Amino acid sequence: MAVVEINFDGIIGPSHNYAGLSLGNLASKRSAGAVSQPRAAALQGIEKMRANLALGLSQGIFVPHTRPDRAWLAELGTDIEQADAVLAANAMSASAMWAANAATVSPAPDTADGKCHLTVANLRTMPHRSHEWPGTLAQLKVAFGADAFAVHAPIPPAFGDEGAANHMRLSTAHDERGVEVFVYGLSGGGFPARQHLEASKGIARLHRLHPDRVIFVEQSEEAIAAGAFHNDVVAVANERVLFAHELAFADKQSVVAALEARVSGFEYVEVPAAEVPLDDAIRSYLFNAQLVTPPDGLPTLIVPSEARETSSVWSWIERHLAGNGPIRRVEVVNVRQSMANGGGPACLRLRVVADPATVDQRFLVDDDKLDRLTEVIGRWWPEQIHHEELQKAALIGEIELARLTLLEALELTELA
């Protein structure tokens, strides 16, 4: 089978809750303390995957991590029953559902050794995410264990790396040699810049990318300060198209010029701040959308329902479609539970360009497998979680049993 882009979505875990742990993520902070709905959240994610399949896209999954992370708490000399409330919330976080932060991926056409390289993100900026990488690495080694792949441990934690959320790839087609764009931050006012330049450079070296096919780009301080904690909140690329807010980059002109020189047929689609203020773009997650090319060849933007409900954003989308721009179709999905915690459609998926036959088939889904996942989630995922219940034995037992049941259904019990 030909090399294609596969979207691997994180299944939203049974411990999905609103603890407001992510500094700089405004949606996460707004929802802090609210009652979450893990079952509805996971089912929304399943329906998004089903919509991708309906478009003809290849679809994969990652499974939720062990929660609570008892091993991490033990390293801190405590356990879930005795930890203080904030530490317990960090150990119960379901944020691994946002697979865009799982790893950075360089497909075989770009690498010197002809392998698809994946480097697991260290996520060292936020405590609740910093202990994700061992669980993610374990899954990557199973899913991408074939000789076609090279899976790397995280960059040393002196340098923050948050994965594909700060990485874009442009090419004439997915199976052609591309240009990889690494976006890093320096400052964001009161918010931390999470992607370090040295981490990005290290990944480019590990992935054996040719220096002429790599661009390092600084994210604008204004975007970070406004709540664009990752580049994918203000920009997304697919094949020859870069779709970005006017204020996404510190030096927009140099980014566009570099891509025009390196990518045949490059198209830049900019959303002006005068038409869509940065706050509207971030609140609606217009750019945290999946920009994809289905088999029918029509570049398609998959946006959250919040984009349709934000007048400036939806007006811009309608004008772009009417003007015969590079994006030819827009699909709307409901991922409200994820959005309330600060992650849109693009946060939930990691793009891997590869031959699906080389991937462990347990990580790939069709409609029948999604039906089975729906049954497991509908029966075993908690319906609601109140923040103050996170350390209750009954809830913890329910969460642990739900994850084990899912692994058994997928025949992935080696990840238990």
Verify whether residue 167 is a known catalytic residue. Answer: no
- For residue 331, tell me if it sits in a domain: no
Q: Is residue 150 part of a domain?
A: yes
- Domain encompassing residue 194: 4-233+336-415
Burial of residue 414, with CB atoms counted within 10 A of its CB: 0-12 exposed, 13-18 middle, 19 or more buried? exposed
230 is a catalytic site residue: yes
Please give the distance of CA 105 from its chain centroid, rounded to a whole number.
Answer: 12
- Bridge pairing between strands 179-184 and 167-170: antiparallel
Distance of CA 301 to the CA centre of its chain: 15
Provide the CATH number for the domain around residue 359: 3.75.10.20
Helices marked H in 236-296 — which ranges?
252-262, 278-284
The tens place of each residue's pLDDT in the chain, 416 residues long, gives 589 999 999 999 999 999 767 655 555 567 667 899 999 999 999 999 999 999 999 999 999 999 999 999 999 999 999 999 999 999 999 999 999 999 999 999 999 999 999 999 999 988 999 999 999 999 999 999 999 999 999 999 999 999 999 999 999 999 999 999 999 998 666 677 789 999 999 999 999 999 999 999 999 999 988 888 889 999 999 999 999 999 999 999 999 999 999 999 999 999 999 999 999 999 999 999 999 999 999 999 999 999 999 999 999 999 999 998 999 999 999 999 999 888 899 999 999 999 999 999 999 999 999 999 999 999 999 999 998 899 999 999 999 999 999 999 999 999 99
Q: Which residue out of 128, 131, 230, 245 is catalytically annotated?
A: 230
**How many structural domains is the chain composed of?**
1
**pLDDT at residue 324 in the model:** 87
* 302 within some domain: no
Rounded to two decimals, the pTM is 0.95
Amino acid identity, residue 291?
L
Distance between CA 249 and CA 46 in Å, rounded?
Answer: 33
Burial 237-276 (b: 16+ CB within 10 A, else e): bbbbbbbbbbbbbbebeebbebbeebbeebbbbbbeeeeb
What pLDDT is attached to residue 387? 85
CA nearest 161: which of 189, 117, 119, 208?
Answer: 119
Residue 278 in domain: no
The pLDDT value given to residue 1: 57
pLDDT at site 2: 86
311: in domain = no
Token pair, residue 290, equals 């999946």
Give the side-chain half-sphere CA count within 13 A for 143. Answer: 29
In a domain, 119, yes or no: yes
Residue 134 lies in a domain: yes
| Residue 193 lies inside a defined structural domain of this protein | yes
Q: What is the number of other CB atoms lying within 10 angstroms of the CB of residue 298?
A: 12
Please tell me the predicted confidence (pLDDT) of residue 32.
67
Q: Which of 5, 132, 162, 306 is catalytic?
A: 162
Assess whether the previous peptide bond of 68 is cis (omega < 30° from 0): yes
Distance CA 106, CA 164 (A): 10
Kindly tell me the number of DSSP H helices and DSSP E strands found in the chain.
15, 15
Q: In b/e form, how buried is each residue of 351-384, taking b as 16+ CB within 10 angstroms? A: bbbbbbebbeebbbbeeebbeebeebbeebbbee
Asked if 388 is an active-site residue, the reply is: no
